Structure 1
Amino acid sequence: MIKPVMIVLTVLLILLQYRLWLSHDGLPSLLRLHHQVEKQKIDNEKLIERNQVLAAEVQDLKSGLDALEERARSELGMVKPGETFFHVIEETDEQD
């Protein structure tokens, strides 16, 4: 009587262990999900940092003219009245 019960319990244990270690929804899937969560946390931290920089830039543009003037000069090439604009062209090493 004890022997058939032990066989059934052993088979049940093997089946449960198989499902835990080797099935698609077992431990490998859990490890893959943990890896994806860690990667997403890193991506989120980078995006939060980028958003903070952009928010600071927006606040700076709203509050003062210095940032607006700097952006107009660097991106649009604008100058103030009475200023002289010098465009420096660097030499390139071209061989014919």
Structure 2
Amino acid sequence: MGNRFVPLFLLAALLVVHAQLWFGRGSVSNVAALQQKLLAQRSANDQARQVNERLANEVRDLKEGLEMVEEKARSELGMVKPNEILVNIGK
């Protein structure tokens, strides 16, 4: 009599595991949906990364550009900021 319950128990356990595989939290359809969400999020992250890099390049160009403008103004036009003393050591 005990030998009959072992196969029934194993069959019931198999059904429970199989049901979890198809309908549970880690089911095949759930994993596929999460993979699609992951791909979409990675794409959005790549786009955001490109925008961030472009903005960082623009900021760097603006900073360097202002320094270049100030350097040219000082050397070519003799620009002096307020509270600065110009000392010209010439040849």
Query: How far did 1:8 drift?
Result: 1.3
Greater helix content? 2
| Unaligned 5+ runs, structure 2 | 67-91
TM-score normalised to structure 2 length? 0.62
The amino acid across from 1:32 in the alignment is A
5 Å matches for 1:1-96? Answer: 1-23=2-24, 25-27=25-27, 28-65=29-66
List alignment gaps of at least 5 residues for structure 1.
66-96
Identity of aligned residues (%): 30
Which has the higher Rg, Structure 1 or Structure 2?
2
Compute the displacement of 1:3 (Å).
Answer: 2.5
Per the normalisation by structure 1, the TM-score is 0.59
Q: Which runs of 4+ in 1 moved over 3 A?
A: none
Aligned partners of 2:49, 2:26: CA distance in 1, in Å?
33
**Can you list the C-alpha shifts for 1:51-93, whole angstroms capped at 9, x where unaligned?**
111111111111115xxxxxxxxxxxxxxxxxxxxxxxxxxxx
1:50 and 1:26 mapped to 2: Cα distance?
35
